[in-house]
Amino acid sequence: MRAPAPRWKTAFMHPAAKPLLFVLCLLPFAQLFVGAVLDTLGANPAEALLRATGDWTLRFLCVVLAVTPARIALGVPALARFRRMLGLFVYFYATAHLLCYAVFDQGLDPGEIWRDILERPFILVGMLAFSLLTALAATSPHRVIRWMGARRWQWLHRSVYAVAGLALLHFFWMRAGKNDFAEVAVYAAIVALLLGWRLQRWLRSKRRLA
């Protein structure tokens, strides 16, 4: 007779698990919103909002990439049910980051934004990453998955790896002006570890089929 699963594993299937995760994912945004209202974001609130929303986009992107390794390593298939929500929060914070840039840096001037994209490579790669995220968010509903078919949907959603690379490049070029790469190195190491895990599993599957 199979032993019952540990309570911490079954907790991921609790009806309250998704609402709780939703609230936790909103906490960083709520903190930034309250800070903006109360003027506690420092001497340059616009820059603080821009940097914080970018940081949280990268953090949630790392969390999304960690779902599958954690699910397999911990033996908790239920973790997969949170991946879509976490992916949409990546898009949520990326959108907030883009809006902060468009409003505070460019005054919502389309011409200035377009010139900035053409003149500064890190803005260009950031826009490319956001475009891919938009495609991923638009195809996340279940009805779209059924319409596209599982194979085509999976192929498209593998572009999250390209998003991770573009986001890191965007961050790297942004920090290059200040010669400050400490945080970039941390995120790059995390992404490399998570993608390396996937590559290792893919190579193992190829060997088994050979």
Whole-model pTM: value is 0.93
DSSP string, 7-18: HHHHGGGSTTHH
Q: Is residue 116 part of a domain?
A: yes
Summarised one tens digit per residue, pLDDT across range 83-134 is 999 999 999 999 999 999 999 999 999 999 999 999 999 999 999 999 999 9
Q: Is residue 124 part of a domain?
A: yes
Distance CA 8, CA 185 (A): 33
Q: How far is CA 60 from CA 32, 92, 99, 105, 118, in A?
A: 16, 10, 18, 24, 28
Q: Is residue 6 part of a domain?
A: no
DSSP string, 47-75: HHHHHHHHHHHHHHHHHHHHHHHHHHHHT
Q: Is residue 3 part of a domain?
A: no
Q: Is residue 151 part of a domain?
A: yes
Summarised one tens digit per residue, pLDDT across range 156-176 is 999 999 999 999 999 999 888
